[in-house]
């Protein structure tokens, strides 16, 4: 069983925007408290943030982090999270039925992000609040000095403006579960006016409007159209969200989740372009896939009607080899849409459906999904090349026939580095990969081939065995005298092959 494609740098999809490797920190469960922030931890810095987690975040290679929600933001008063810690109120967070102590707020988060070189992507509350709270937060964060909100920030110890460039206009307001859920027209009007007012404070900001919270929503497609009819001129990006899980033992479809993401992106692009045509607009809407991941939501269903708690353990999924192959494959899908998808955020960063897990005051470790994310973020840069593979197809109940091989190729003209990302989604047969390299400035050789795979497709990393599943070097991958790359991909495996 062989899958073949041709690599030619003359055929480009688009530039890789490094913001495709974004992540997400929500005030939810243990993402913030005992996740990134744990003053009692032996590695905590003076501000209370965990040094071990900071090290893993650096290694993950994410350049962007969305904050503070998520469903949480739709009931959040940002003013609760600034100023002297002792004066901050304890609030009931209706989204996750948690007690929010507000010990971490805007300045603490932005200070942590700055220390790690992460660009923040802040969300404003358009659920229970509106234009005024949104524009005052922008003024608090970004205005240099000499106004009530900026001087308040300075009085809180943040002398320099934070310079937050990227702002989400609310979160998932199409969802009936969302505090302050709205119709598309209600939301579209509010997003347009809030965005306008925020830009009046800081003209340099970029704005993301909420698309649907999933392709399965009954209003999917019409929500995007109606929101953009109201807000097209004011916003720079439209958001997409999607979570994937294995349902009813249908692993073939789960491994093909990239096909679902691919269709969702195509549908949102078509809808946005329809509004553009009707409006005769010049701007082509770009997309922000600002929540995506594997999430075993069915397991969480039993956790509804949550007891109110301070730092509850919520949706701390443990990921397997199969989940890591799916995450790696979803990243390939995002890259193949580099012409339209500019931003994407793996949801979330620590503990809550996350690549990094921690114990309060204790250990931290990398989940299986950490590895394809970190290696993709490190090596897939430059331009995404157009490549079309031929090869075996797999029958999937949910998506019909999908290629066994998933792949994407990036080419960094400056360094000459060529990166082939590939996955074999077949559960029982190995796959031979053959890629004809042409039009390159020199003869290429294999610098490194790393694979994430295991005979046990359910193997996972745990606190007791944190390195049970790690990427391992593969030998025997070659480029022959005719410039054909040859590699063997075991069943259910993810690969990065670096050429130079």
Site residues (CB under 6 A) for ligand AHR? 26, 28, 69-71, 171-172, 213, 291, 347-348
Nearer to ligand AHR, 108 or 172 (CB): 172
Q: How far apart are CA 245 and CA 323, in angstroms?
A: 9
451 token code pair: 């694979």
Residue 232 CB-half CA count within 13 A:
21
370 Cβ neighbours under 8 A, 6+ residues apart: 56, 60, 355, 356
Is 367 exposed, middle or buried, given 0-12, 13-18 or 19+ CB atoms closer than 10 A?
Answer: buried
Q: Minimum Å distance from CB 66 to ligand AHR? A: 10
Q: Minimum Å distance from CB 127 to ligand AHR? A: 11
User: Is 139 labeled as catalytic in the residue annotation?
Assistant: no
Q: How many helices (H) and strands (E) does the chain have?
A: 11, 25
447 token code pair: 């610098």
Q: Minimum Å distance from CB 170 to ligand AHR? A: 10
Q: Minimum Å distance from CB 102 to ligand AHR? A: 18
Radius of gyration over every alpha carbon of the chain, rounded to an integer in angstroms: 23
Phi, psi of 406 (to 5 degrees): -110, 140
Peptide bond into 274 cis (omega under 30): no
For residue 467, CA distances in Å to 123, 459, 471 come to 35, 11, 10
For residue 299, CA distances in Å to 246, 367, 369 come to 11, 18, 19
Q: Facing residues of 287 across strands? A: 238, 341
Tell me the residue nearest to ligand AHR as measured from the CB: 70
Residue pair 140/152 in contact by the 8 Å Cβ criterion: yes
Residues 396-411 as b or e (16 or more Cβ within 10 Å = b): beebeebbbbbbbbbb
Angle at 442 between CA 383 and CA 374, to 5 degrees: 40
Peptide bond into 70 cis (omega under 30): yes
Residue pair 140/81 in contact by the 8 Å Cβ criterion: no
Question: What is the bridge-based pairing of β-strands 22-24 and 364-366?
Answer: unpaired
Q: Minimum Å distance from CB 312 to ligand AHR? A: 14
Angle at 250 between CA 241 and CA 401, to 5 degrees: 80
Closest CA to 476 of 485, 464, 463, 465: 485
In this structure, how many other beta carbons lie within 10 angstroms of the beta carbon of residue 284?
A: 11
Q: Minimum Å distance from CB 26 to ligand AHR? A: 5
Nearer to ligand AHR, 27 or 379 (CB): 27
Nearer to ligand AHR, 70 or 75 (CB): 70
Nearer to ligand AHR, 79 or 93 (CB): 93
User: Is 79 labeled as catalytic in the residue annotation?
Assistant: no
Q: Minimum Å distance from CB 254 to ligand AHR? A: 19
Q: Minimum Å distance from CB 72 to ligand AHR? A: 6
Nearer to ligand AHR, 352 or 496 (CB): 352
Nearer to ligand AHR, 9 or 35 (CB): 35
Nearer to ligand AHR, 71 or 107 (CB): 71
Phi, psi of 26 (to 5 degrees): -115, 150
In this structure, how many other beta carbons lie within 10 angstroms of the beta carbon of residue 22?
A: 26
Q: Minimum Å distance from CB 70 to ligand AHR? A: 3
Nearer to ligand AHR, 140 or 292 (CB): 292
First-to-last CA distance in the chain?
27
- Active-site pick, 100, 139, 172, 246: 172
Nearer to ligand AHR, 72 or 411 (CB): 72
Residues marked active site are found at 172, 291
């Amino acid at each position: 069983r062989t899958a073949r494609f041709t690599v030619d740098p003359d055929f480009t999809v688009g530039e890789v925007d490094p913001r495709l490797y974004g992540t997400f920190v929500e005030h939810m469960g243990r993402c913030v408290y005992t996740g990134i922030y744990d003053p009692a931890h032996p590695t905590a810095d003076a501000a209370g943030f965990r040094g071990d987690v900071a090290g893993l975040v650096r290694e993950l290679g994410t350049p962007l982090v969305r904050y503070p929600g998520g469903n949480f933001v739709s009931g959040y008063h940002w003013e609760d999270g600034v100023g002297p810690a002792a004066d901050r109120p304890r609030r009931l967070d209706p989204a996750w039925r948690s007690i929010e102590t507000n010990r971490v707020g805007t300045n603490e988060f932005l200070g942590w992000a700055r220390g790690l070189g992460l660009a923040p992507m802040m969300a404003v509350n358009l659920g229970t609040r509106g234009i005024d709270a949104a524009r005052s937060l922008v003024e608090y964060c970004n205005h240099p000095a000499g106004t009530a909100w900026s001087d308040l920030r300075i009085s809180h110890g943040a002398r320099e403006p934070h310079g937050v460039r990227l702002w989400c206009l609310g979160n998932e307001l199409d969802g009936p579960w969302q505090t302050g859920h709205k119709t598309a027209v209600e939301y579209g009007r509010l997003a347009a006016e809030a965005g306008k007012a925020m830009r009046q404070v800081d003209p340099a900001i970029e704005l993301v409007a909420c698309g649907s919270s999933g392709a399965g929503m009954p209003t999917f497609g019409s929500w995007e159209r109606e929101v953009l009819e109201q807000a097209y001129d004011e916003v720079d990006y439209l958001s997409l969200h999607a979570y994937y899980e294995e349902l009813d033992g249908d692993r073939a479809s789960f491994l093909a989740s990239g096909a679902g993401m691919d269709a969702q992106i195509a549908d949102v692009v078509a809808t946005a372009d329809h509004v553009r045509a009707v409006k005769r607009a010049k701007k082509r809407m770009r997309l922000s896939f600002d929540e995506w991941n594997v999430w075993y939501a069915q397991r969480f269903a039993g956790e509804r009607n949550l007891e109110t708690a301070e730092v509850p353990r919520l949706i701390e999924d443990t990921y397997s080899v199969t989940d890591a192959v799916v995450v790696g494959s979803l990243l390939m899908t995002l890259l193949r849409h580099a012409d339209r998808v500019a931003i994407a955020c793996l949801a979330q960063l620590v503990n809550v459906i996350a690549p990094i897990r921690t114990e309060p005051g204790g250990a931290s470790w990398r989940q299986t999904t950490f590895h394809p994310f970190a290696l993709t973020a490190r090596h897939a840069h430059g331009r995404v090349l157009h490549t079309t593979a031929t090869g075996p197809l797999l029958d999937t109940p949910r998506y019909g026939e999908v290629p066994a091989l998933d792949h994407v190729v990036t080419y960094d003209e400056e360094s000459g580095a060529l990166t082939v990302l590939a996955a074999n989604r077949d559960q029982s047969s190995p796959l031979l990969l053959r890629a004809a390299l042409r039009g390159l400035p020199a003869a290429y050789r294999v610098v490194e081939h790393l694979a994430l795979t295991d005979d046990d497709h359910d193997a996972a990393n745990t606190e007791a065995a944190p390195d049970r599943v790690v990427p391992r070097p593969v030998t025997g991958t070659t480029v022959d005298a005719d410039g054909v790359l040859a590699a063997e991909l075991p069943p259910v495996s993810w690969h990065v092959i670096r050429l130079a």
